[in-house]
Amino acid sequence: AAAHYPDGTIASLRRAKRAALAGDADAALPELLRAVSRGYNRFDQLEADPAWDAVREDARFRALVREIAAGWIESGRHRQGATQTELRAIAQAHVVREEYAEALRSYEAALAAGGPDDAAIREEIRAVQEALASGDPRVRVRLGAAGED
């Protein structure tokens, strides 16, 4: 897709990722913004993929990920009969926004809905509870970081 559509979402995302891997936030962020403006909305990938590590703490990157996550929360707000996977995604969006109490409510709803993700959800709940118990507002839960040293 990137070869056929050099101004498309995939091409922009690839350029952003290459720049991020090189530690060049000034080049990565405009390309990432371009991808988002074309529909890219995978905040979970931006949080978990190590390719973004070099720019992850950049305030502009954090703000963009939070904005994408807010879109997921808003789209799920009025959804009736959401699946466990959808409720988990909403919980993860709250985690990214550091809205941990809301995340716990969504995770609990995801468990109540039942489905194949119970074990992963319980692990994510534990991480959020640990962050809350620390009492330190600088402690941030990172999606996809479970089990990392």
Give dist(CA 106, CA 113) in Å, integer.
Answer: 10
Q: What is the pLDDT of residues 121-148, one digit of tens each?
A: 999 999 999 999 998 888 889 887 543 3
Q: What is the pTM of this model?
A: 0.87
- In single-letter form, the type of residue at position 22 comes to A
Count, residues in the chain: 149
Q: What is the pLDDT of residues 28-83, one digit of tens each?
A: 999 999 999 999 999 999 999 999 999 999 999 999 999 999 999 999 888 888 99
Q: Is pLDDT of 149 > 80?
A: no
CB 104, CB 87: distance < 8 Å:
no
Of the pLDDT bands very low, low, confident and very high (cuts 50, 70, 90), residue 3 is: low
How much is the pLDDT for 4? 61
- Where does the chain have alpha helices with state H? 9-21, 25-37, 43-48, 59-77, 84-96, 100-113, 118-134
Q: Which of 23, 76, 22, 16 is nearest to 46 (CA)?
A: 16
